[in-house]
A and B are shown apart, each in its own frame.
Chain A
Amino acid sequence: MRISQQVSSHDERIVLLHFEGDLNASDCEATSKIFQEIIDSKKYFIVALMENVTFVSSPFRGELMGCKLRLVEKGGNMVIVGLNYDLRERLIQMGADKIFQFYPDTHTAYNHYHWEYTQTAQVVSITLPPKLQSVPAVRRFIAGIAKQKGYTARDSFRIETIVDEIANNAIEHGDSSQPEISVELRIDRKKFELLVRNKTLMDKANQLKYVLEANKETAQTGDTRGRGLALVKLISNSINVSIDKSGTEVKITKMREDS
């Protein structure tokens, strides 16, 4: 086994550990010492680069688990990058995927690090033609992102409902000559923000603002429609509308329930 270490040029809190060759039981002691030195230097995030690893013995796997535990206790983590398909499959069969995260490259590992530890929001922007038929695809796309990012099924369903209501309103009540509407989502580990921009006729936009600010629904008891925004208010944490000459922007914030 060969092992070398370097501080990441991307973030100095991350240490990159390059492993090469067979990771045997006889390598555990030397590796443990290196892990301890890294922890003593107050660096708690390790990316284990294993592109050139040819074998991982059971004792060595135990050593990696021990190191991960020590890092987690300090609020850090260790992830494995670049392990070849066969070795990864063997480790997964032994349940290692319940302990370690495996990533294909360092770029993806850094993304995970930012998501988990620096709370950096990720932004997705979508523009679409003002067609009501395309809204289901958009709402499923955004709910799919929330699920993929670890939000619960309940949160994702509520996000889907919010997107559906707001995007439908933007199209249905928007200026019929608008070329497109734009949807932007900012998602981080704790909250989800949705911004929908469109071109709206001024009287419609003011009506929207009135409904939101006066805390009233547009629907009367016998009406079959007009409860969308009331529903959105119920399942989100905040809703703001800004209107100017360029159009209307609705911004909705929803906190993650299990955060």
Chain B
Amino acid sequence: MDSQSKNTSASGAAGAAGYSVNLPSDLEYIPPLRQFVAEIARVEGFSKKFCFRTEIIVDELVTNGILHGSQDVHSSVTLAAKFEDGAMNLSVQDQGGTRQNLENLKRAVYSPKPPSNDKKKGRGLVIVQMLSSEIKIDLGENGQTQVHVVKTKDPDENQPQREKLLYESDL
């Protein structure tokens, strides 16, 4: 028990808790991965609601990374999560898809618009926008795409302002 408390306090003193996972570009890894991130968010003191929403964000971003940002079967996707000051900084990096994929990603992030009702795809990043506080894209030198999401703690558990605005514009 002594060593447990010693190690816990040591890591707490080191600052933000950072986790990273690099995994093969394979959809089968997504269910355990999203549960893992939700569980560590819970360990880091975030609410159940926050963790459930985090699970949705992770699912969407990693699915996109695998389906649109993987060039071959040897590709991988890296997820990094950092928890500090009541916020979660999440980033998902893939190896980069086609130019069209990148254009679609930019459009979805910087000018989000839900697809029409008859479309079966295209809602993932709109949902991520609704559930997060901030989202941006970075492009690496070798074509990698990195999507950063910041999600802040919502102490009163009210719906975030961004979510209301998107619904209003949709109506």
Q: Which residues of A line the B interface, CB within 8 A?
A: 10, 85, 104-105, 107-108, 110-111, 114, 122-134, 136-138, 140-142, 144-145, 147-149, 171-174, 176-177, 179-180
Contact with A along B1-27 (1 / 0, CB 8 A): 001101110110010011111111111
With the chains together, A227 CA to B60 CA distance in Å?
42
Q: Is B145 an interface residue (CB 8 A)?
A: no
Contact of B7 with A131 in the complex, beta carbons under 8 Å: yes
Contact of B31 with A144 in the complex, beta carbons under 8 Å: yes
Contact of B11 with A111 in the complex, beta carbons under 8 Å: no
Known: A129-B14, A144-B35. 12 other contacts (CB 8 A): A104-B67, A107-B66, A107-B73, A124-B23, A125-B23, A127-B19, A130-B7, A130-B11, A132-B8, A137-B40, A149-B28, A177-B10
With contacts A110-B73, A124-B22, A126-B19 taken as known, whether A145 is within 8 angstroms of B29 at the C-beta atoms is yes
Q: Which residues of A contact B39 (CB under 8 A)?
A: 136-137, 140-141
Q: Which residues of B contact A144 (CB under 8 A)?
A: 31-32, 35-36
Contacting A at CB under 8 A, from B61-77, are: 66-67, 70, 72-73
Of residues A140, A142, A148, A149, which shows the largest number of chain B Cβ atoms within 10 Å of its Cβ?
A: A148
Contact of A148 with B31 in the complex, beta carbons under 8 Å: yes
With the chains together, A114 CA to B31 CA distance in Å?
20
A173 touches which of B3, B24, B26, B32 (Cβ 8 Å):
B3
Q: Which residues of A contact B19 (CB under 8 A)?
A: 126-129, 134
B101 CB → nearest A CB, Å: 13
> 24 A-B Cβ contacts within 8 A?
A85-B120, A104-B67, A107-B70, A111-B24, A111-B25, A122-B24, A122-B26, A123-B22, A124-B29, A125-B21, A129-B11, A130-B10, A131-B8, A132-B8, A140-B32, A140-B36, A141-B33, A141-B36, A142-B32, A144-B36, A145-B29, A145-B32, A172-B3, A172-B4
B26 touches which of A111, A125, A138, A140 (Cβ 8 Å):
A111
Q: Which residues of B contact A147 (CB under 8 A)?
A: 32
Main secondary structure, interface of B, reads: helix
Q: Is B171 an interface residue (CB 8 A)?
A: no
Contact of A179 with B14 in the complex, beta carbons under 8 Å: yes
With the chains together, A132 CA to B3 CA distance in Å?
10
B140 CB → nearest A CB, Å: 18
A15 CB → nearest B CB, Å: 17
Contact of A107 with B8 in the complex, beta carbons under 8 Å: no
Contact of B4 with A176 in the complex, beta carbons under 8 Å: no
With contacts A107-B73, A144-B35, A145-B32 taken as known, whether A124 is within 8 angstroms of B21 at the C-beta atoms is yes
Q: Which residue of B lies closest to A141 (CB)?
A: B36
Contacting A at CB under 8 A, from B103-136, are: 120
A171 touches which of B7, B23, B26 (Cβ 8 Å):
B7
Contact of B8 with A133 in the complex, beta carbons under 8 Å: yes
B94 CB → nearest A CB, Å: 12
With the chains together, A149 CA to B18 CA distance in Å?
27
Q: Which residues of B contact A172 (CB under 8 A)?
A: 3-4, 7
B107 CB → nearest A CB, Å: 21
With the chains together, A242 CA to B19 CA distance in Å?
24
With contacts A125-B22, A136-B39, A172-B3 taken as known, whether A131 is within 8 angstroms of B73 at the C-beta atoms is no
Q: Which residues of A contact B72 (CB under 8 A)?
A: 10, 107
Contact of B29 with A140 in the complex, beta carbons under 8 Å: no
